């Protein structure tokens, strides 16, 4: 446990608000509404008054649900600096799931966007004292005296408390140990079962500490925040570390399509970029693949020395597309396509892959690009913060990845059975991932324990590795490899309809190309990994907010 005051999360934010009072803190991208650290601190103080008026006590839960915006940020920071426990709810959760989380977490206040509120039935959340709009702070529903939560009343009480105004020297948050619970994050995993991760402030502080001490985040950093803040990955670095360090984050509330993001990158010129693989893979497929497949570029790339010139031009083009001023791009949340990773490594694009999970808030392993990240690895365990080992490795050194350290959760809320199953007897957290460590401590993830398949003679088959090869086939958007009752493997493929239409292919031509590609992929696989047949799935697969496919929805389709 990090007990030094410099690592106390609440004190980190207190210092940052005081030291950076006049600097810009957050901007709602597309609206040009910007709050300085001082303005954000004032909003937090008003929310503290609101909490007291509503009778919120220490360790009460406050839920927040909506798209990324400055009000979402204010609610989160107000909750943890007040002594409450924040319950972030992903805006993409269905109403029934959101209602379950609100009730299961025992939340007493709900801050929610107007569009998410449309699906909520007030009678189904009886313990919520009040619901407040994240759009403009208006009270949506009340079980309290309306005067207590009316923001005109809150503004008046703010003036009464601070008749001389509220300034940097007035920012003072109550003492709160890092052992205290900071958040309950409900997982959005691929297994279909959502659990509430109990995260102490220490776990959040460990991620913030790494972001700052590694130099990835610093005073004046610029972030384009398009990952959902309710997810641990975006929350830890795009938001918490950025604010603690005195950075400026632009909050993108719209669906993060490559077109929208590239426009934002060109305008903001971020100093570092956090992304999930899907975004980078789409940009690679649209911007780079058409270039490298055409002669003479495809020929030159095969010629030593000449290929370096072409690679340099592609690298510079890609860097400029992302704003041109970032030190590196960090990929996390899901596996990166190996072909994309190999090409970006070949052209020396400044990129590193990290590894984490909601239960570690989220970072476990990472090595910055400047320190020599390795191809297909997600780096080393965070020095002085996390430990990683492989449980019961096989002859290839592959086994379950288990971890322990500062960032680790306390358990699952009101779920002692799942908590017990998630830890070894000697206190290591089971990640559910299969991986291996090399002689230098670099971690390589092979797949999920639950998705690993067994070949006819008991061989381990990692479907994610096969899917990565299939996804490189022409006209394939994404795929899933599943196993039939007779143990044969079937690939569900979602076509890239834009490419198919652009090429003017008939159904028969498309099927022939897919069959030829199946044979090509099989030539690169072991006998026990062969794809017996391909089935076309007409839509994109349903995904979690971090863009991992929800496999459990498709296991009975073959």
Q: How would residue 315 be classed by pLDDT, with cut points 50, 70 and 90?
A: very high
Phi, psi (degrees; rounded to nearest 5) at 249: -115, 130
| pLDDT score for 187 | 83
Q: How would residue 452 be classed by pLDDT, with cut points 50, 70 and 90?
A: confident
Percentage with pLDDT > 70 across the chain: 97
List the beta bridge partners of residue 34.
27
Q: How would residue 444 be classed by pLDDT, with cut points 50, 70 and 90?
A: very high
Q: Are 66 and 91 in contact (CB under 8 A)?
A: yes
Is the pLDDT at 146 greater than 90? The verdict is no
Is the pLDDT at 554 greater than 50? The verdict is yes
pTM: 0.86
**pLDDT higher for 460 or 220?**
220
- Which pair of structure tokens corresponds to residue 327? 């030190």
**pLDDT higher for 98 or 191?**
98
Is the pLDDT at 6 greater than 60? The verdict is yes
3.30.390.30, 3.40.50.880, 3.40.50.1000, 3.30.300.30: CATH of 474-553: 3.30.300.30
| pLDDT score for 203 | 98
| pLDDT score for 248 | 98
Where do the structural domains in the chain lie, given as residue ranges? 5-251, 273-325+328-447, 474-553
Residue 29: CB atoms within 10 Å: 23
Would you say domain 273-325+328-447 falls under CATH 3.10.20.30? no
Phi, psi (degrees; rounded to nearest 5) at 403: -140, 160
* pLDDT mean over 457-469: 82
3.40.50.150, 3.40.50.720, 3.40.50.12780, 3.40.190.80: CATH of 5-251: 3.40.50.12780
Q: Confirm whether 273-325+328-447 and 474-553 share one CATH topology.
A: no
Q: Are 311 and 300 in contact (CB under 8 A)?
A: no
Residue 6: CB atoms within 10 Å: 10
Q: Are 407 and 207 in contact (CB under 8 A)?
A: yes
476-483 and 489-495 strand pairing: antiparallel
| pLDDT score for 458 | 64
- In sequence order, the 6+-apart residues with CB closer than 8 A to the CB of 390 are 397, 398, 399, 400, 401, 402, 435, 436, 437
Q: How would residue 546 be classed by pLDDT, with cut points 50, 70 and 90?
A: low
Is the pLDDT at 145 greater than 80? The verdict is no
Q: Are 269 and 305 in contact (CB under 8 A)?
A: no
CA–chain centroid gap for 512, Å, is: 38
Q: What is the mean pLDDT of the chain?
A: 92
* pLDDT mean over 138-164: 83
Q: Are 44 and 273 in contact (CB under 8 A)?
A: no
Is the pLDDT at 250 greater than 50? The verdict is yes
- Name residue, tokens 């990773």: 341
Secondary structure (DSSP) of 150-175: -HHHHHHHHHHH-TT---GGG--PPP
Q: Are 375 and 163 in contact (CB under 8 A)?
A: no
**Exposed / middle / buried, residue 136 (Cβ in 10 Å: 0-12, 13-18, 19+):** exposed
| Structure confidence by residue, pLDDT tens digits, 63-82 | 999 999 999 999 999 999 99
Q: Are 492 and 558 in contact (CB under 8 A)?
A: yes
């Amino acid at each position: 446990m990090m007990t030094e005051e410099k690592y106390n999360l609440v004190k980190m934010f207190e210092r940052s608000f005081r030291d950076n009072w006049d600097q810009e803190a957050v901007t709602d991208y597309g609206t040009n509404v910007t709050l300085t650290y001082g303005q954000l601190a004032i909003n937090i103080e008003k929310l503290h008054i609101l909490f007291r008026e509503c009778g919120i006590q220490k360790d009460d839960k406050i839920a927040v649900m909506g798209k990324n915006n400055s009000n979402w940020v204010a609610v989160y920071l107000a909750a943890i600096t007040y002594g409450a426990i924040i319950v972030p709810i992903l805006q993409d959760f269905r109403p029934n799931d959101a209602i379950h989380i609100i009730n299961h977490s025992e939340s007493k206040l709900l801050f929610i966007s107007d569009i998410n509120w449309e699906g909520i039935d007030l009678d189904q959340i009886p313990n919520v004292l009040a619901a407040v709009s994240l759009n403009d702070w208006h009270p949506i529903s009340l079980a309290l005296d309306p005067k207590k939560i009316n923001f005109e009343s809150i503004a008046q009480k703010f003036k009464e408390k601070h008749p001389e105004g509220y300034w940097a020297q007035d920012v003072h948050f109550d003492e709160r140990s890092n052992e205290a619970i900071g958040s309950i994050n409900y997982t959005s995993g691929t297994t279909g079962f959502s659990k509430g991760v109990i995260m102490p402030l220490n776990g959040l502080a460990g991620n913030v500490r790494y972001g700052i001490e590694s130099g990835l985040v610093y005073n004046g950093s610029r972030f384009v925040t398009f990952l959902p803040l309710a997810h641990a990955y975006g929350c830890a670095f795009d938001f918490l570390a950025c604010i603690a360090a005195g950075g400026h984050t632009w909050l993108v509330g719209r669906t993060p399509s490559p077109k929208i993001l590239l426009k934002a990158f060109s305008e903001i010129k971020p100093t570092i970029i956090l992304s999930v693989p899907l975004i980078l893979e789409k940009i690679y497929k649209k911007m780079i693949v058409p270039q490298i497949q055409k002669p003479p570029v495809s020929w030159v790339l095969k010629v030593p020395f000449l290929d370096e010139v072409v690679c340099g031009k592609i690298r510079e083009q890609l860097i400029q597309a992302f704003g041109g001023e970032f030190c590196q791009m960090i990929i996390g949340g899901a596996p990166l396509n190996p072909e994309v990773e190999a090409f970006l490594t070949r052209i020396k694009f400044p990129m590193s892959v990290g590894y984490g999970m909601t239960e570690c808030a989220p970072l476990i392993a990472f090595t910055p690009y400047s320190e020599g990240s390795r191809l297909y690895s997600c780096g080393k365990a965070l020095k002085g913060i996390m430990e990683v080992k492989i449980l019961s490795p096989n002859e290839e050194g592959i086994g379950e990845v288990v971890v322990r350290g500062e960032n680790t959760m306390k358990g699952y809320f009101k779920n002692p059975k799942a908590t017990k199953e998630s830890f070894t007897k000697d206190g290591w957290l089971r990640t559910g991932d299969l991986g291996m460590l090399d002689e230098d401590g670099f971690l390589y993830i092979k797949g999920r324990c639950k998705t690993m398949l067994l070949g006819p003679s008991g061989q381990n088959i990692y479907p994610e590795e096969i899917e990565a090869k299939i996804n490189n086939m022409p006209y394939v958007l994404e795929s899933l490899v599943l196993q039939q009752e007779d143990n044969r493997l079937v690939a569900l493929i979602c076509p890239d309809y834009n490419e198919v239409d652009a090429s003017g292919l008939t159904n028969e031509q498309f099927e022939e190309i897919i069959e030829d590609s199946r044979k090509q992929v099989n030539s690169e696989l072991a006998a026990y990994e062969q794809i017996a047949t391909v089935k076309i799935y007409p839509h994109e697969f349903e995904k979690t907010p971090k863009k991992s496919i929800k496999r459990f929805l498709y296991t009975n389709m073959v």
